[in-house]
Structure 1
Amino acid sequence: MQAIFVQFKCRPGRAYAVADALVEGVEEISEVYSTSGQYDLLAKFYLAPDRDIGHFVTERLQTLDGVSDTFTTVAFKAFGRG
């Protein structure tokens, strides 16, 4: 599985509704956090290796009601203890 991180800018007052929509409606989601700074939410998704990231982001995420912008980061390797 390939991990991607997507930051979301939401329309005013819509961040919690967008977070709920992600958790309830996008099976590829791992977790979502509310954040400070330029973006309102940070979400982690796991996609199958043959899944087109561009189509996933533009068709499944950017079209959610309340989303005004996204910023996607593709992860290469996870590091951890142990």
Structure 2
Amino acid sequence: MTCVFVQVRCAPGKTYDVADAIAAKEIHSEMFSTSGEFDLLIKIYVPAGEDIGRYVNDRISPTEGIERTLTTLTFSAFQ
């Protein structure tokens, strides 16, 4: 599994609706409300063999109320 973090910018007034919709999909490990340019930070483990871009585009991006996402990949550099 690959750990990725997805930052989500929501339409004004839609953050709680977006968070509820993503939580209902049960695809995240953790989700946080954040301040700044983005409204939510979501930690996701993408199954091995899955294309990360498609995974995010198919499962997160189509959620109503999302204006933009930013995906950050992680790597095991310190073992």
TM value normalised by structure 2: 0.91
Q: Are residues 1:21 and 2:16 paired?
A: no
Gaps of 5+ in 1: none
Aligned pairs for 1:40-79 within 5 A: 40-77=39-76
| Deviation string, structure 1 residues 9-54 (Cα, Å, up to 9, x no partner) | 00000111111111111x3210110000000000000111201111
SS of equivalent residue, structure 2 residue 64: coil
User: 1:78 deviation in Å?
Assistant: 7.8
Identity of aligned residues (%): 46
SS of equivalent residue, structure 1 residue 29: coil
TM value normalised by structure 1: 0.88
Please say which of residues 65-74 and 55-64 is displaced more in the overlay: 55-64
SS of equivalent residue, structure 1 residue 70: strand
- Which residue in 1 is equivalent to 2:36? 37
Please say which of residues 5-14 and 27-36 is displaced more in the overlay: 27-36
Aligned pair count reads 78
Distance in 1 separating the partners of 2:6 and 2:77: 16
Q: Which amino acid aligns with 1:60?
A: R
Q: CA RMSD in A?
A: 1.4
Q: Are residues 1:5 and 2:5 paired?
A: yes
